[in-house]
Amino acid sequence: MSTTTKLDLASPAPAKASPAKPRRGLWGSRTFNFWLFAAPFLIGLIVFIYVPIGWSIYLSFFDARFTVTPDKFIGLENYTYMLTDPKFVGSLGTFTVFAAFIVPTTWALSLSLALLVNRLKFMRAFFRSVFFLPTACSYVAASLIWKMSLFSGVRFGLANTVIGWFGIDNIAWLISPNPPWYWLVIVTARLWLQSGFYMILFIAALQNIPEELYEAAAIDGAKRGWQTFRHITLPQLRATSTAVVLLLLIAAYQAFDEFFNLLDKTTWGRPPLVELYYTALGTEQDYGAGSAGAVILTVLIIIVTLLQGKILGFGRGDESK
């Protein structure tokens, strides 16, 4: 055996690189990194959401006129006053009418747009973007456009110009509450602003429906159209439809911008938030009564949400279907 071969046999194998040691210390802690990134959001949530909610609940038990630091405890008097105030109770009725219009109409329009866009073979992304763009528009800006250009009430307004072609006289859309034409203005404005967002939710749900279901239905003799929509598409959209209805109801409770900007300082057609705004920031600045009304409205939203979840099955798993 040669000397070279002996040296090769005798030489030790190269040492393996030691595995990299995990980072130690504070910066290597997953818990620390989690709180480092979550802390700004949590601080903002506490400072701008939970603290105002807690302070509002506190003010609702005090006589807080022209001050947010009251010292006169009055118990449930603010709640009694708000529940017997015809303006606040009437605003809840206004919300009921508004929700009865806007929730089913927005649901139907959003689903119809989703079905149409999802069936397109070309320019699908273009139409999806076009219908979604109004979502980024400010409610205040949209309200002013509706008020000053479309439904201005003058003869040169777009709406009055169109109905004038059919021999109909000009309509003061936002002035006279009898008949209440302002509902048409408010509902169309919100439809334009909201439908695109919920259309995207329905499109995502439609794309998750297995194509095998439609193929099996076609083999069984079902025709494309109403039969497949009723027995396949609509049941598969149950969870998304329930979530959309829930979001629409909450948004209806929170309606403010379009009512405030379209109806100015009228005493009719006010939803709860507009009525609470005038109660807390009006001439009397009754923060205690306004806070009590806000608590009542919050409780109503919670009750409606729980009832809807119970009736429509929101949050249940597939095994409950």
pLDDT of residue 188 exceeding 80, the answer is yes
Q: In this predicted model, which residue has the larger pLDDT, 211 or 22? A: 211
Number of Cβ atoms within 10 Å of the Cβ of 298: 14
pLDDT of residue 20 exceeding 70, the answer is no
Report, at the CATH architecture level, how domain 86-320 is classified: Orthogonal Bundle (1.10)
Place of tokens 């090769």: 8
Which pLDDT value is given to residue 7? Answer: 45
Q: Can you tell me the distance from the alpha carbon of 78 to that of 279, in angstroms, rounded to the nearest whole number?
A: 12
Number of Cβ atoms within 10 Å of the Cβ of 240: 19
pLDDT of residue 197 exceeding 90, the answer is yes
> Residue 155 — pLDDT band, cuts 50, 70, 90?
confident
Which pLDDT value is given to residue 108? Answer: 93
pLDDT of residue 287 exceeding 50, the answer is yes
Which pLDDT value is given to residue 54? Answer: 92
Q: Dihedral sign, CA of 286, 287, 293, 296?
A: negative
pLDDT digits (tens, 9 = 90+) for 266-282: 777 788 888 899 888 88
pLDDT digits (tens, 9 = 90+) for 32-67: 788 888 899 999 999 999 998 999 999 999 998 888
Q: In this predicted model, which residue has the larger pLDDT, 243 or 29? A: 243
pTM, two decimals, is 0.78
pLDDT of residue 99 exceeding 90, the answer is no
> Residue 313 — pLDDT band, cuts 50, 70, 90?
low
Which pLDDT value is given to residue 17? Answer: 52
Runs of H (alpha helix) within 46-138? 51-59, 77-84, 86-118, 124-132
- Output the average pLDDT for the chain: 83
> Residue 14 — pLDDT band, cuts 50, 70, 90?
low
